[in-house]
Amino acid sequence: MKSQRDIWIFTEKNTLLAELVGCANGLAKEMEANLTALILGPYSLARQAIALGVGQVFWLGEQRAGDMVEDCVPTLAKLVETHAPYAFLMGSTTRGRTIAGRLAARLDVTVLTDIKEIKWVDRYFQASHLIFGGGALRIEQTQVEPVIATVVPGTFLPGQADPNRQGEIVFVEWVPPTWQVGVRERKPRTATTVNLAAARKVVCLGRGVARKEDLAFLKDFANILGAEIGCTRPLAEGLNWLPRERYIGISGANIKPDLYLGVGVSGQVQHTVGMSDARVVVAINKDKDAPIFAQADFGIVGDLYTVVPALMAAIKAMK
Amino acid sequence: MDFRWSEEQELLLESLEELLKREAPESLMAELDAKKEFPDKPWQALADHGILGLGIPEEYGGAFTDIMTMTLVCQALGKHALPLGIIYSLGVITIRDILQFGSEEIKKEVLGGMIRGDAPVALGITEPQAGSDAAALKTTAEFDGDEVVFNGQKMYCTLSKQAKYILLMTRDQKSENPYESISMWLLPTETPGITFHLLNKVGWWTVPTYEVFIENVRVPKKNLVGEMNKGWPQLMANFEIERLALCAASVGAAEAAFEDAAAYANRRVQFGKPIGTFQAVQHIIVDMAVKIENMRNYIYKIAWMMDNDMPVRTEHAMCKLYVARASFEVIDSAMQILGGLGYMMDHRVQRLWRDIRLMRIGAGTDEIMYNIAGPQLLKKVR
Amino acid sequence: MGLNILVTVKFAPNAVDIEVKPDGSISLERAEWEISSFDLPAIEAAVRLAEATRGKVIALSVGPARINNSKLKKNVLSRGPDELVLVADDALAEADTAVTARVLALAAAKLAPFDLLLSGEGSADLYFQQVGLQLGERMGIPTLNAIRKIEVYGNHVVVERSLEDEIEVLEVPLPAALSVTTDIEQPRLPTMKEILKAGNKPVYEWSLTDLNLADLPGKVEVLHTMATPRVERKNIRLQGPTEEAVCELAGLLKKEGVL
Greatest extent of chain A over all pairs of C-alpha atoms, in Å: 73
**Sheet strand arrangement including B194-198:** B140-144, B147-158, B209-220, B194-198
A133, A269 contact by CB (below 8 A): yes
Closest-CA distance of chain C to residue B248, Å: 19
In a domain? residue C241: no
Closest-CA distance of chain A to residue B167, Å: 40
Q: Hey, which of B92-106, B241-255, C19-33 has the most confident mean pLDDT?
A: B241-255
CB contacts < 8 A, A to B, total: 5
d(CA A102, CA A85): 17
A109: Cβ–Cβ under 8 A, 6 or more apart, which residues?
A: A144, A145, A146, A147, A148, C98, C219
In a domain? residue C233: no
d(CA A262, CA C71): 38
Query: Taking CB atoms and an 8 Å limit, are A296 and C170 in contact across chains?
Result: no
B290, B322 contact by CB (below 8 A): no
- pLDDT value at residue A192: 60
Mean pLDDT of the A285-290 span: 90
What range defines the domain where residue C111 resides? 4-206
- pLDDT value at residue B308: 96
Residues of C in contact with A93 (CB under 8 A): 163-164
In a domain? residue C246: no
In a domain? residue C177: yes
- pLDDT value at residue A4: 67
Of the candidates B74, B377, B105, B125, the residue with the CA atom closest to the CA atom of residue B225: B105
Mean pLDDT of the B50-76 span: 92
Report residue B357: phi and psi, to 5°.
-55, -30
CA distances from B57 to A69, A228, B74 (A): 57, 57, 19
d(CA C138, CA C7): 16
Mean pLDDT of the B310-328 span: 97
C contact chains, 3+ CB pairs < 8 A: A, B
For C138-174, give the DSSP string: HTTS-EEEEEEEEEEETTEEEEEEE-SSEEEEEEEES
Mean pLDDT of the C48-57 span: 97
Mean pLDDT of the C103-131 span: 96
Q: Which of C189, C194, C196, C200 to mutate: most B Cβ within 10 Å? A: C189
Q: Under an 8 Å CB criterion, which residues of C touch B?
A: 70-71, 74-75, 78, 189-193, 195-196, 198-199, 239
d(CA A292, CA A273): 11
Query: Taking CB atoms and an 8 Å limit, are A287 and B25 in contact across chains?
Result: yes
- What confidence category does residue C55 fall into, taking pLDDT thresholds of 50, 70 and 90? very high
Q: Which domains does chain B have, with CATH numbers?
A: 7-116 (1.10.540.10), 122-227 (2.40.110.10), 235-380 (1.20.140.10)
Q: Which of A73, A110, A179, A256 to mutate: most C Cβ within 10 Å? A: A110
**pLDDT, chain C, mean:** 93
C122, C148 contact by CB (below 8 A): no
A286 close contact with B: CB closer than 8 A: yes
Residues of C in contact with B63 (CB under 8 A): 191-193, 196
d(CA A13, CA A90): 10
d(CA A87, CA A85): 6
C138, C116 contact by CB (below 8 A): no
Has residue A60 got a pLDDT over 50? yes
Mean pLDDT of the B49-57 span: 90
Query: Taking CB atoms and an 8 Å limit, are A140 and C227 in contact across chains?
Result: no
d(CA C132, CA C134): 6
- What confidence category does residue A191 fall into, taking pLDDT thresholds of 50, 70 and 90? low
CA distances from C151 to A45, B161, C41, C184 (A): 37, 46, 16, 11
**pLDDT, chain B, mean:** 95
d(CA A265, CA A271): 9
CA distances from C210 to B73, B244, C86 (A): 43, 52, 12
Q: What is the pTM of this model?
A: 0.86
In a domain? residue C226: no
A77, A39 contact by CB (below 8 A): no
- pLDDT value at residue C204: 98
Range of weakest confidence among B134-138, C129-133, C168-172: B134-138
Number of domains, chain C: 1
Mean pLDDT of the A291-295 span: 91
CA distances from B332 to B289, B335, B354 (A): 13, 5, 10
Report residue A52: phi and psi, to 5°.
-75, -15
Mean pLDDT of the B59-67 span: 89
Q: How does pLDDT run across A131-177, given as a tens digit for each residue? A: 987 788 999 999 888 999 999 887 888 889 999 999 999 999 999 99
Q: Nearest by CB to C228, which of A94, A100, A130? A: A130
Q: Which domains does chain A have, with CATH numbers?
A: 5-171 (3.40.50.620), 196-318 (3.40.50.1220)
**Are β-strands C143-153 and C236-237 bridged in parallel, bridged antiparallel, or unpaired?**
unpaired
Mean pLDDT of the A183-206 span: 84
d(CA A71, CA A174): 10
In a domain? residue C211: no
* Bridge partners, residue B225, by sequence: B184
Mean pLDDT of the C49-60 span: 97
In a domain? residue C213: no
Has residue C96 got a pLDDT over 60? yes
In a domain? residue C171: yes
The residue type found at A193 is: T
- What confidence category does residue A1 fall into, taking pLDDT thresholds of 50, 70 and 90? very low
d(CA B132, CA B363): 9
Closest-CA distance of chain C to residue A32, Å: 23
Mean pLDDT of the A76-91 span: 95
Query: Taking CB atoms and an 8 Å limit, are A287 and B263 in contact across chains?
Result: no
C-alpha of A45 from chain center: 20
CATH assignment of the domain containing C62: 3.40.50.620
**Are β-strands A111-112 and B122-124 bridged in parallel, bridged antiparallel, or unpaired?**
unpaired
Report residue A89: phi and psi, to 5°.
-100, 135
A31, A120 contact by CB (below 8 A): yes
- pLDDT value at residue A250: 76
Has residue C22 got a pLDDT over 90? no
Mean pLDDT of the B204-223 span: 97
Scanning every residue of chain C, which has its alpha carbon at the shortest distance from the alpha carbon of A202? C258
Q: How does pLDDT run across C31-50, given as a tens digit for each residue? A: 999 999 999 999 999 999 99
C166: Cβ–Cβ under 8 A, 6 or more apart, which residues?
A: A186, A187, A188, A189
B8 close contact with C: CB closer than 8 A: yes
d(CA A186, CA C164): 12
